[in-house]
Structure 1
Amino acid sequence: MHLLLYLTCFLLFPQQYFALFGNSLKKLREKASSMYKTQKKGVHLNFMGNVASDYPGTNPKYIKINEDNWEEYYSCLKKQEENLGRQLSMTPQAIVGFEGASVKLECRICISPLEKESKELIKWEWAPIEGKHLEPVDYNENIIISPEDKTLHLYNLETSHSGQYMCVLADASTTPYFLTIIGLNESEILEVHSPEAPVGPYPKDFEYIQQYDLILDTEWSDWSTCSTCDKIGKRHKLGYCTIYSKQNRDLTVSSKILNNSLIVDEDNYSTIDELIEIDFNISTVSTTEEQITGQTEAESISSTDLELFTVFEFGIPCDSHILPSVVRKIPQIKARKNEIMMGFCRVKCEKNTVFVVKDRHGNVIEKVNNSAGLYSLKQPMPPLEPAVARTLVYGIKGKSIVLSCPGSMNTDAPIQWQLGDKNLIPEVIAQESNRRIFISITDKIHIKDAKIADSNIYSCWQREELAGTIRLVVEKKLEFNFNHTVMLIGIVIIMCVFLQVFVKAIVGRKYAKV
């Protein structure tokens, strides 16, 4: 009898349990699922509330995503290992940038897919040249951190941006960057053509400074963004004069060696040591005055100054603020200029970027056209649009004026100038003004012998977006030209008058007392 009663209770208890608590459990599961969705917006979750790509199970789609995430992590570790210096430590990097241009600093901290939540804790710190400690980077419309890989983008560079930068995660930090921003002076930059071009000038080859065991070469940036799309545009890339220690530099050169006309077969000579040996045998016939000057200055350069190049294995730019001044005075380094190369391009205009939101079952619940300036609440905040920079410039009639674009649309695309609603084509404006007005290769407007009629509003554009405007006012200046002889005679006369008045005052005072 008791056994039958126990059996009946055992069979009825689950039904009673689920009848009483089933709705509560269902609500609890829905609440947990809602909480996970709130914490991980836009991420597809499995039935346990975990990210589906982290626990793919047998789903081939999520297995592939999981494999790609781990492959990216291992690639990052491999890249870090390749960048280790001779002392098996991260090698610091010295880089330069031009005023008004842009620069990109990569964060080399590797985070595994299991720790990807920590990526949001990554931050950048910096210290100015004279700064004594690091402080957080102040992000604004021209200083942006990429949410995907935490790369730091600096646009519309100014000299005040020079300093040391580091990517930091808790107590871990990456190799430091030493950034130097320099003015873009046309007289200190050389325009060159591609080696495939029929005429030069061509980029300079590397030079070996045997006396100091240094290599002087040009480090080229990537091509900039094309100035327009769906039609012929322009692009450029910059070549920075850079100094390397010979023991850290092993180049493959397949063209001319140094300043000689000898053509080298890349199959026979592949390292810089072999090329330097050939060049030395050719150039030891005579000693130039420049070499003699360099030998004279050798005594002032110590081994400590040269030891810096063993630490910076990727070289130090010739204009870097960390370069010792005595090294900068070496004749070959003083004579070497930065270079710039222009090219034509044609790219397709980007199609509309649509952000799609799906539920856990893969059903589309929202589509937003980001290209139209519309964004979903389930995606990260878009970067701030740079404000249009406006400035007022006064010029003097008859003098020279240089106009630089005061703003940037957070892109490295070349500048397009407009006067009112009229495009200023460099070749046309130079010809029409008989070279009185021209646009330089660095996208600056040069006005010689300025006239009152040059007063106007000049606007600069990037990728057909307004970056800045300049209101130029050219005025007459009243100048007084004095003859030095006449001025000297006048000063003597005035002093004599003052002396006469002083003497009379003294004499009159004396007689008054009597």
Structure 2
Amino acid sequence: MYLSDIFVLKLIVKLIILGCLINKTFSITKSRWNDIKKETKNILEKNWKQPRGITQVGPKPGSYLDYPGFDQAKLEQNRILWDLYYKCLNDQSFHTNSKHVFAAKVIKTFKSFSLKLECELCISPKGLTNKNVWFYSILEKNRSLRLLKENDYYRISPIDLSLTIINIDESKSGFYQCIISSSESRPFIIELFNEDIEPFLETNITKINTKISDTKILIDLRLKMWTEWTEWTTCSTCDEIGIRTKFGFCLIDSITPKINTNENMFNKTNDEHLENLLNAFDTGLPCHSNLLNPNIFNGIKNNPIKVVTEYCRIQCHNDEVFEILDPQGNIIDKVNNSAGIYSSQQIIPELPPKTEKILIITHLNQNFNITCPGNLNTDAPYVWKLNNKTILPLISKSAEDHIYTDILHRLIIQNITKKDETIFTCWQLNYLAGIVRVKIIKEFKLSIQEDMYLLYGAIPIIGLFLWVGFKVFFDKDAAYY
């Protein structure tokens, strides 16, 4: 049950935080801090999935522990959640730097992808119902943060207040931060890769099976550079042979002063701005980040994005069944959620992301690199189809087919023809994610002779307008007749 005395609660929290700031020698590891947050999330998820009950009176979903009454189970869960909250506060100092500030993180991603940003603050059970915690700003000077509201592209979890950004584009790139009361979490800077970027297909299995590979020490720049690999994406389709992908992104960071380098050289090649910039990102800075000066670090920015693909096969989830049991264990309600059917005693599910549509207007013989306009909040690679037939990737550069997909699962059309004026669709996990319609128009070109005829015909018309204007402004009497 919640503490009734708010003042006492705030005082206790402040004392605990103050104790964390003073005691810098505690032996708490980062993994323990994460374990506390996971334990809290598991408890909340378990309660969230329980039936609400038609006759239940009280708070909206998300504050289901607000009124435990004499329910001993809920009272115990409340006590556990508050204990975990105080432990989280006690351990949170480990996750900050010497100034007790969360280091920023730059995330470089591709257009139409989806991202999940964690709110790395300790969230009290009483604060779970407040979703107004995420703020956004575009990356320009003198731009203030604005509150981020949930919509079709921004979703905030009622369990841990994490933010999911669906179908990222230029309008969604920028600065994101979770702010609760006077506490601010790690800032996230979202940047998009250039759509013309050409990734490198990695074939070295040894590098793929490691989290970090290709570590290099750039002594002249006093930097460390490495490739960090993501986890495998979800398989592109289910119940059939599909494709999954893994990406390797280049990162850089400053190295420790232990390496014997020429100090004068360091002062010439690294300015104070760069040093402060790298210190602000404890997980490294992407080599392709817009924050790096392209004139100085052009060689670093030329490092390719590495991609690996392999075949996969997973089963479709067709067995998500929700049941309501009475005290004797008898089934009183049973629905198949996989078929889109839900019980009135369930929490109202989130609507799936909508299918996006775009129209591309072009001329003949143009080349196109098309990214799927939609995303179903999954990292599964896209499957492109034309007339219900899957468009396959290009096997060799000598292939005659001018329509294919690349290793980033984008649709490529070379030398577009009149028969390509049609509708293409992109799919994720057998569900329609986007529709692309291609419309071809004729180019308007005139020869020199046609231009002269047009000019000769326009001169009398222009002269007539000039004469009428002259009469109106300089001969007012004539204008009335």
TM-score under structure 2 length normalisation: 0.70
- The answer to whether the 8 A contact 1:245-1:313 is kept is no
In 1, distance between residues paired with 2:91 and 2:320? 31
- The answer to whether the 8 A contact 1:85-1:91 is kept is yes
In 1, distance between residues paired with 2:173 and 2:91? 27
Pick closer, same or farther for the CA change 1:90–1:404 going to 2, 3 Å: closer
- The answer to whether the 8 A contact 1:44-1:359 is kept is no
Match of 1:184 among 195, 201, 218: 195
- The answer to whether the 8 A contact 1:193-1:342 is kept is no
Greater percentage in helix: 1
Look up the equivalent residue of 2:278 and give its one-letter code.
Answer: F
- The residue number in structure 2 matching 1:171 is 182
- The residue number in structure 2 matching 1:99 is 111
- The answer to whether the 8 A contact 2:221-2:269 is kept is no
Q: Secondary structure at the match of 2:256?
A: helix
Match of 2:277 among 298, 308, 311: 308
Dislocated runs of 4+, deviation >4 Å: 33-37, 40-45, 69-79, 295-298, 357-365, 430-433, 478-483
**Number of residues paired by the alignment?**
396
Deviates more, 1:167-176 or 1:151-160: 167-176
- The residue number in structure 2 matching 1:146 is 157
TM-score under structure 1 length normalisation: 0.66
- The answer to whether the 8 A contact 2:288-2:301 is kept is no
Q: Any idea what the Cα deviations from partners look like across 1:187-218, whole Å, max 9, x if unmatched?
A: 3x2221352499xxxx9612222123211222
Pick closer, same or farther for the CA change 1:55–1:309 going to 2, 3 Å: same
In 2, distance between residues paired with 1:402 and 1:432? 19
- The residue number in structure 2 matching 1:3 is none
Per the TM alignment, residue 162 of structure 1 is displaced from its structure 2 partner at its CA by: 1.8
Look up the equivalent residue of 1:117 and give its one-letter code.
Answer: K
- The residue number in structure 1 matching 2:75 is 55
Q: Secondary structure at the match of 2:214?
A: coil
- The residue number in structure 1 matching 2:354 is 387
Q: Are 2:120 and 1:108 aligned? A: yes
Per the TM alignment, residue 443 of structure 1 is displaced from its structure 2 partner at its CA by: 1.3
In 2, distance between residues paired with 1:84 and 1:133? 24
Alignment gaps of 5+ in structure 1 = 1-32, 57-61, 249-272, 285-294, 495-514
Deviates more, 1:410-419 or 1:384-393: 384-393
In 2, distance between residues paired with 1:247 and 1:191? 32
In 1, distance between residues paired with 2:186 and 2:84? 20
Q: Secondary structure at the match of 2:278?
A: helix
Greater Rg by CA: 1
Per the TM alignment, residue 459 of structure 1 is displaced from its structure 2 partner at its CA by: 0.8
Q: Any idea what the Cα deviations from partners look like across 1:450-472, whole Å, max 9, x if unmatched?
A: 22122221111111111111121
- The residue number in structure 1 matching 2:293 is 325
- The residue number in structure 2 matching 1:503 is none
Per the TM alignment, residue 387 of structure 1 is displaced from its structure 2 partner at its CA by: 2.1
Per the TM alignment, residue 90 of structure 1 is displaced from its structure 2 partner at its CA by: 2.0
Match of 2:226 among 217, 227, 252: 217
Pick closer, same or farther for the CA change 1:74–1:465 going to 2, 3 Å: farther
In 2, distance between residues paired with 1:408 and 1:469? 11
- The answer to whether the 8 A contact 1:159-1:182 is kept is no
Q: Secondary structure at the match of 1:234?
A: strand
Task: Give the aligned CA root-mean-square deviation in angstroms.
Answer: 4.1
- The residue number in structure 2 matching 1:15 is none
Match of 2:411 among 445, 452, 456: 445
Residue pairs, 1:261-300, within 5 angstroms: 299=268
- The residue number in structure 2 matching 1:417 is 384
Match of 1:466 among 432, 447, 450: 432
Per the TM alignment, residue 415 of structure 1 is displaced from its structure 2 partner at its CA by: 0.5
In 2, distance between residues paired with 1:141 and 1:459? 20
- The residue number in structure 1 matching 2:168 is 157
Per the TM alignment, residue 381 of structure 1 is displaced from its structure 2 partner at its CA by: 2.8
- The answer to whether the 8 A contact 1:225-1:411 is kept is yes
Pick closer, same or farther for the CA change 1:135–1:435 going to 2, 3 Å: same
In 2, distance between residues paired with 1:74 and 1:190? 47
In 2, distance between residues paired with 1:157 and 1:304? 29
Q: Secondary structure at the match of 1:394?
A: strand
Q: Any idea what the Cα deviations from partners look like across 1:95-129, whole Å, max 9, x if unmatched?
A: 22211112110011223xxx413211142111111
Pick closer, same or farther for the CA change 1:470–1:226 going to 2, 3 Å: same
Alignment gaps of 5+ in structure 2 = 1-52, 457-481
In 1, distance between residues paired with 2:71 and 2:370? 53
